Amino acid sequence: MLTSLAKSNFSKVVLPLILIGLICFGALPGYLSGGQWRWKAPPQVTVLNQLKALRKQGIEIPGWQSIEKTPVPIGERKWMLQNLQDSTQTKATVLFLPQNRSIDQPQVEWADLDGAQQLKTDSHHQIQIGSITVEFLRAWTPLQTYAVMRWYAWEDGGHPAPFWWFIRDRALQWQNRRAAWVAVNISLPIEPLDDIEPHRTKLESLVQTVQSTLTTQVLRSNS
């Protein structure tokens, strides 16, 4: 078995090599076909109009009534806030930050959100929901506690870490395509400092509905 030191050295050496290989994997076909490295002139995102509509109008989420839809400034950007309610009177808030330009990459969206709302967080862990991975956490202010799930959504998957969008985007560039993205943050108000696990099922269902709706209405190109 590998020792701890050997494992550490393996991660430091092999993982960067894998990343470099994946970057070249995405860039080389563009160089061979177009005479320049694709990372210098990547393909354009083809769903910018749909992303723009989401940013201005939001979307209808099946099974949930949108009580409010409004753009809200967070940091230096505007998110689309939607307050929702279902048939059981459960309330939830969804925040969307759609990609604005083809060159935009996900970076510090979660730090912006938590900082702007002065949220404290704990109980962070990742869970798999269908084709996507989300971060599941507890967040609170002096007045309210929330169970939260967040991720970057793209057409055929999603993950809370920008790194995995980067890998997917580079792979798609080989096919002259891009991984358009939307940062999604769903919060469910709960009792003060309550355990978030009992709220997991309700949130997972809403996450699946939001991801499916984004895929069909926003992130999938019609061309």
Q: What is the pLDDT of residue 222?
A: 74
pTM (predicted TM-score): 0.84
Lowest mean pLDDT among 4-13, 75-84, 112-121: 4-13
pLDDT by residue (tens digit) across 144-159? 999 999 999 999 999 9
List, in sequence order, every beta strand (DSSP E) within 18-144. Answer: 65-74, 77-85, 91-98, 120-129, 132-140
31, pLDDT greater than 70? no
Distance between CA 98 and CA 89 in Å, rounded?
Answer: 28
User: pLDDT digits over 42-66, tens only?
Assistant: 899 999 999 999 999 999 999 999 9
What pLDDT is attached to residue 100?
Answer: 96
Question: For the chain, what is the mean pLDDT?
Answer: 87
Other CB atoms closer than 10 Å to residue 70's CB: what's the count? 11
**pLDDT at 76 (0 to 100):** 87
Cα angle for residues 176, 180, 186 (degrees, 5° grid): 160
